Amino acid sequence: MNPGNRAESRVANPKCHPACHPAAVRALIAGAMIFMTAKMCAADTALDWRQLPPLPDPVGFAGPFAGVSSNALFVAGGANFPDKLPWEGGRKIWYDAAFVLDRTNGAWSKPFKLPRAIGYGVSVTTPDGVLCAGGSDSTQHYLDVFLLRWCAGKLETKPLPPLPKPLANSCGALVGLPRTVISRRFCLT
């Protein structure tokens, strides 16, 4: 195989849903961008952007899981450099804290906890909750998949079947019904 020829190095996974083929993913993204642009240009009203309350952390978080369930916004996990910046020799710390904002004019909840300190996974809002897949910490990438749901003032975590391989630093999207989540390396149906 010629390492310079990218076309030769791509092999479709025959077990993967047809919508997850790399060419299909590119076409889907391009189509979605064209559709969204056309809808925004045709809209009679402008978007109404409002700033939400800041997260209760002075530094913020990189790579958190984020999404919406039952009209509540989650920001869960992630990492930061709390003491010193990385170029000053700061040490990266991963978090298991999950913050919930259930009213746009309210305050973030006291932190709930994820099963482990983790960040840089895929999170996708679905009708059932926020699907979280993969992620990493300071030592490894994970193949865990779980669903976060906001139910009666509590954050529920439901374990789901794992990914076939560990995954981090990726993104995903919800595509059609039955629900298919497409990420950089896998699709979950």
**Sequence spans of domains, the chain:** 61-189
CA dist 113 and 157 (Å) reads 9
Say which residue, 56 or 6, is predicted with more confidence: 56
Q: What is the largest CA-CA distance in the chain?
A: 57
For residue 144, how many other CB atoms are within 10 A of its CB? 20
Average pLDDT over residues 44-55: 79
Q: Give 61-189's CATH code, choosing from 3.40.50.300, 2.120.10.80, 1.10.1040.10, 3.40.50.10320.
A: 2.120.10.80
pLDDT at position 35: 59
Q: Is the pLDDT of residue 128 over 50?
A: yes
pLDDT at 8: 34
pLDDT tens figures, 26-40: 655 655 556 566 555
The pLDDT tens digits for 136-146 are 999 999 999 99
Using the predicted structure, report yes or no on whether residue 166 has a pLDDT greater than 70.
yes
Q: Which residue has the higher pLDDT, 47 or 22?
A: 47
- Would you state the structure tokens that stand for residue 154, as one six-digit string? 């509590």
Of 114 and 46, the structure prediction assigns the larger pLDDT to: 114
Residue 67 pLDDT more than 60? Answer: yes
The reported pLDDT for the residue numbered 90 is 95
Q: Which of 73-77, 88-92, 178-182 has the lowest mean pLDDT?
A: 178-182
- The share of the chain scoring above pLDDT 70, in percent, equals 69
Per the CB < 8 A criterion, the answer to whether 88 and 67 are in contact is no
Averaged confidence pLDDT in the chain:
79
pLDDT band at 24 (very low <50, low <70, confident <90, very high): low
Q: 77-88 pLDDT, tens per residue?
A: 999 999 999 999
Q: Please give the model's pTM, rounded to 2 decimal places.
A: 0.71
Q: If pLDDT is split at 50, 70 and 90, which confidence band does 134 have?
A: very high
Give residue 77's pLDDT: 96
